């Protein structure tokens, strides 16, 4: 469903939260934010209706959303989201990373979920508006950030099955501590053979809650095997790699090739795209193609594959020490983080935190 009416105005009304956190509460939270636990004082809310298009852009106090019990999202899961971060630079300024990519991906997710497409300028402006009132929530200690969570869902109270005629878009934000507090630690990943996250023609390429809902039981299985996360294989043959529940996977070969799975049911990560770009800049050959689990087993055993990592906005890069499946393991629990893995991670975070030149024009200033 296209947004037929152009946005009427980019002017947000702003209601300041008089009951925001005190300076002392704020200081306590910022000192140890964790991830996704605490939220800032405000949120963005934009309405959409079939007849009126996008309207009533607002910044308002953070708080519960009143929903009719018949709201379509509660029954049919017509919902999408995004995730990106705001980074505090040395001089105090606040930047985000490639927000147009998130805006474009949200449009693709919207198209798949029969939700309205939010124009890119509205998406980026919504982040600016939130930062304008919540700038104090962007932490400044190393590797911390303010996690931004735009999302959109079907609000119409109607139990008939069709795309909702009333939808809301929101942005909330949550200060995030360093993902690897005690230094970057390679992780073990469980290979799920009983569950798939996406199938042909499904919603795998959309960032939608339903994909996460269906991954949770596999995630539980992973935990019960002592693994941090789960790797999903393609649902048709169970032979080809897809991705983790919320991160993409990448392999580094001995000859310098950097290889990542291609599949129509993968969620295309902006972190992955950026890391592959940085690898190409170094003259490395990047291959995006089908990758079978047999290739990974043989590659690791023969020493052809020398590094493995997962990537996504939250962790940036998580080195993978080993994969564990029912009946075999790939790699070894004690394997150290790869050299290229860590160097790409460093380069990307240096760009994000403004420590090196932004030669690709990836950073967008949000404050001022
Ligand atoms: C968000 C997400 C990713 C990572 O995307 P980034 O843009 O790098 O954060 C990977 N896989 C899934 C399923 C996701 O939802």
Residue 331 CA, ligand 1 centroid: distance in Å? 24
Is 313 close to ligand 1, i.e. is its CB under 6 Å away? yes
pLDDT tens per residue, range 240-259: 999 999 999 999 999 999 99
Closest CA to 313 of 23, 36, 60, 97: 97
Residue 298 CA, ligand 1 centroid: distance in Å? 27
pLDDT tens per residue, range 309-355: 999 999 999 999 999 999 999 999 999 999 999 999 999 999 999 99
Assign 10 a pLDDT band (cuts: 50, 70, 90). confident
Residue 267 CA, ligand 1 centroid: distance in Å? 6
The token pair at 244 is 């983790």
Compute CA distances 248 → 59, 80, 263, 264, 312, whole Å: 33, 18, 11, 13, 7
List of domains in the chain: 13-176 (3.30.470.10), 187-352 (3.20.10.10)
Q: So what's the pLDDT on residue 9?
A: 57
Residue 25 CA, ligand 1 centroid: distance in Å? 31
Q: Whose CA is nearest to atom 6 of ligand 1?
A: 269
Is 219 close to ligand 1, i.e. is its CB under 6 Å away? no
pTM attached to this predicted model: 0.96
- Residue carrying structure tokens 């906005």: 313
Is 248 close to ligand 1, i.e. is its CB under 6 Å away? yes
Ligand 1 atom with minimal separation from the 312 CA = 8
């Amino acid at each position: 469903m296209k947004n037929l009416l152009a946005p009427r105005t980019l002017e947000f009304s702003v209601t300041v939260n008089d009951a925001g956190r005190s300076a002392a509460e704020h200081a306590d939270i910022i000192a140890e934010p964790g991830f996704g636990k605490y939220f800032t004082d405000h949120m963005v809310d934009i309405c959409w209706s079939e007849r009126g298009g996008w309207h009533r852009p607002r910044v308002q106090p953070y708080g519960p959303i009143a929903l009719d019990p018949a709201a379509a999202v509660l029954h049919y899961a017509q919902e999408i989201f995004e995730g990106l971060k705001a980074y505090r630079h040395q001089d105090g300024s606040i930047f985000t990373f490639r927000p147009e990519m998130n805006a474009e991906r949200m449009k693709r997710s919207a198209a798949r979920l029969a939700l309205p497409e939010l124009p890119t300028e509205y998406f980026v402006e919504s982040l600016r508006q939130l930062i304008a009132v919540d700038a104090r929530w962007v932490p400044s200690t190393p590797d911390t950030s303010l996690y931004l969570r735009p999302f959109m869902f079907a609000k119409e109270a109607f139990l008939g099955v069709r795309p909702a005629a009333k939808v809301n878009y929101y942005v909330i934000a949550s200060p995030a501590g360093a993902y690897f507090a005690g230094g970057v630690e390679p992780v073990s990943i469980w290979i799920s053979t009983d569950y798939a996250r996406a199938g042909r023609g499904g919603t795998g390429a959309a960032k939608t809650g339903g994909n996460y809902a269906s991954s949770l039981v596999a995630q539980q299985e992973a935990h019960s095997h002592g693994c941090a996360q789960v790797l999903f294989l393609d649902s048709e043959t169970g032979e080809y790699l897809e991705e983790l529940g919320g991160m993409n996977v990448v392999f580094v070969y001995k000859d310098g090739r950097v290889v990542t799975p291609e599949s129509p049911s993968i969620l295309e990560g902006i972190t992955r795209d950026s890391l592959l770009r940085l690898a190409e800049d170094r003259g490395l050959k990047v291959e995006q193609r089908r990758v079978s689990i047999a290739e990974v087993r043989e590659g690791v055993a023969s020493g052809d594959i020398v590094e493995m990592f997962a990537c996504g906005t939250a962790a940036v890069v998580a080195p993978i020490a080993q994969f564990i499946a029912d009946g075999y393991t790939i790699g070894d629990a004690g394997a150290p983080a790869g050299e290229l893995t860590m160097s790409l991670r460093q380069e990307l975070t240096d760009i994000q935190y403004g420590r090196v030149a932004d030669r690709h024009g990836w950073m967008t200033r949000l404050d001022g």
